[in-house]
Structure 1
Amino acid sequence: MTTNLTAPMSKQLLFGLLTITIGVELLLYLSGYSQLAGTIYDAIMVSSFFIGLKLHRRLSSGTRKTKLQHIRQFIGAFLLFILGSTIINIYSSYAFQDFSNDYDQYVETYTEVVSDDSDIVESNEPSEPVDKMWEVIDEIDTVGYDIYTDILAGLEEVWRLAYIILILFVFKNIFPKRWEKGRRDIFVLIAIFVTSVLFGIDHTLSTVDSWPYEIGAIVTFANMGFLFGLILLWTRNLWVTVLVHSIYDILATLSWYYFEFIVEITAMILLPIYLILVVVEKNQKTSNIVVSEDIAN
């Protein structure tokens, strides 16, 4: 895998990797002060999809999987992330109470529907259809924008893979002897660790909060990032990791607004489906082995 990741690349691809790593870091920081920087950041994240098409080929092992295997791999990775993120959230809620309390307050305030007594329409008062329509449109606009950013968040995994490739290139040139001996797993793990720390820091770049909150956010999101990195390494499939990231964030957003336990309910639905797919795939492999033996005989 490391040989494919560090294969020679064109100057255009190298420029693209630098843009979606270092360039995005700068824009993410400036987005806290400039709306234009935030817009350019979104544009680069969208364009990173096309860079991901090239990087995915470097990451994949080359073996073709069936649609059933892809679905099973996605569900397995998704369930793994739900389990891991739950453990991380429980840990952070105890280890970083300032962050946990402030974050819960932020979610509550952000998703709060204004329902003051002054806004309540009495039953004998005529309702205003136009006002109601704009309230619905405003809610759709708010939730829709959050889901849009959740979709873009999945493309952060292209950012992660780009960083991993650049870091491996650095290790390859700094430690050529160790690299040639084939002891490269430690380099991959270091690259995933570095990207995880950057992932945690990036979630605090555009905001200014107290140090207890900042540290709690960095550690929490860095752990999340490390989990995404392990999923990327395990599946060797960039788009599976992108989907896991995006769909988890979308479900988290829906849990803010509508269904508090939608993530857990989704996991309960997917678990038996995953087990069924494992059994089906195992039976298919057994059948193929039997057929092969019959042909050989």
Structure 2
Amino acid sequence: MTTNLTKPMSKKLLFAIILVTIGAELLLYLARYSTMAITLYDALMVSSFFIGWRLYRRLGSPQDKPKTKRQLSLQFTGAFLIFVLGSTVINIYSTYTFQDFSDDYDQYVQDYVDIQAYDAGNEGPSAEPMGSFFEEVDLVGYDLFADTLAGLEEVWRLAYIVLFLVIFKKIFRRRWESGRTDIFLMAALFLTSILFGIDHTLDVEQPWSIKIGSIVSFANMGLLFGVILLWTRNLWVTVLVHALYDITATLSWYYVEYAVELFALAILVVHLILFTLEKMHQRRLKRQMEKVELIQAAE
């Protein structure tokens, strides 16, 4: 995989990778001072889709067999369930290990929901049904939009992994040429996870007791996303898992208290059904192959 990720690239692609990595860091930091920086960051995330389109093929190999729609669906459902389980463990760990961060985050969620509800209440009901509909959209819509864009942070991760590997290849050329490149991939995964945690603290000023908990908690989340990316070797599956998890978490703030858990339960049911169908398909193919071999042996 490392060889494929670091294969020659154009100067335009290298510039785009640097823009979506270093540029995102700068905009996130500036977001604490400027609302325009937030808008530019959103625009960068949207444009990163096209960079991801250029990079996602590097995760695979020419020898890989194309997956069927059912296999891709199984990959997504399995990845989502793994992330929900892992994030639950991380949340429990953070609650008991970083009490200040846990309390601050819970208070942030409560304050944010209260502010949104207060603003909606002050506006009052609209005289027109269409106006009332868009008031509701405005209340939650931007959060869902931001959650969708958050999935594209996995393009940021892949771009960073490629960038780190290119640097490692130049600096540690002898070790790279020896074929022991997995250690560089793991180092890139670890570094991007740390940066993922740090980036969740750049747009706000926090006491260090809260900031350390935030960095560690989100770095663990980032590591989990990174493992899913390398396991599935599918950028868009990881993007979808990230976006849907954030969306269901937001819905749990506003509408359904256990939206993440209920969605995960639905995904589990779908996963079991798809898994059963895939096993039945594999057995059918195996029996057909055995029949062909018997016919060939008889001839």
Normalised by the size of structure 1, how large is the TM-score? 0.92
Q: Which residue of 2 is the match for residue 53 of structure 1?
A: 53
Residue 118 of structure 2: which of 114, 119, 128 is its match?
A: 114
How far off its partner does 1:129 sit? 4.9
Q: Which residue of 2 is the match for residue 34 of structure 1?
A: 34
The two structures, once aligned, show a CA RMSD in angstroms of 1.9
How far off its partner does 1:34 sit? 1.3
How far off its partner does 1:135 sit? 6.8
Instruction: Tell me which amino acid in the other structure corresponds to 2:241.
Output: V
Compare 270-279 and 146-155 and name the one that shifted more. 270-279
Normalised by the size of structure 2, how large is the TM-score? 0.91
Work out the percentage of aligned pairs sharing the same amino acid: 59
Instruction: Tell me which amino acid in the other structure corresponds to 1:226.
Output: L
Compare 173-182 and 237-246 and name the one that shifted more. 173-182
How far off its partner does 1:277 sit? 1.5
Q: Which residue of 1 is the match for residue 253 of structure 2?
A: 256
How far off its partner does 1:128 sit? 6.3
Trace 1:1-297 onto structure 2 (pairs within 5 A).
Answer: 1-61=1-61, 62-112=64-114, 113-114=117-118, 129-130=126-127, 137-297=134-294
How far off its partner does 1:255 sit? 0.4
| Contact 2:17-2:160 at 8 Å conserved across structures | yes
How far off its partner does 1:170 sit? 1.2
Instruction: Tell me which amino acid in the other structure corresponds to 1:49.
Output: F
C-alpha distance 296-213 of structure 1, shift in aligned 2 (>3 A): same
| Contact 2:126-2:132 at 8 Å conserved across structures | no
**Paired residue secondary structure (2:90):** helix
Q: Which residue of 2 is the match for residue 123 of structure 1?
A: none
* Rounded Cα–Cα distance in structure 2 between residues aligned with 1:280 and 1:90: 35
| Contact 2:125-2:132 at 8 Å conserved across structures | no
Structure 1: gaps spanning 5 or more residues: 121-126
Instruction: Tell me which amino acid in the other structure corresponds to 1:88.
Output: I
* Rounded Cα–Cα distance in structure 2 between residues aligned with 1:130 and 1:138: 12
C-alpha distance 23-292 of structure 1, shift in aligned 2 (>3 A): same
How far off its partner does 1:267 sit? 1.4
How far off its partner does 1:133 sit? 7.9
* Rounded Cα–Cα distance in structure 2 between residues aligned with 1:63 and 1:92: 40
| Contact 2:79-2:241 at 8 Å conserved across structures | yes
* Rounded Cα–Cα distance in structure 1 between residues aligned with 2:177 and 2:232: 25
Q: Which residue of 1 is the match for residue 297 of structure 2?
A: none
* Rounded Cα–Cα distance in structure 2 between residues aligned with 1:87 and 1:239: 25
Q: Deviations over 1:214-256 (max 9, x none)?
A: 1111111000000000000100000000000000000000001
| Contact 2:48-2:155 at 8 Å conserved across structures | yes
| Contact 2:147-2:247 at 8 Å conserved across structures | yes
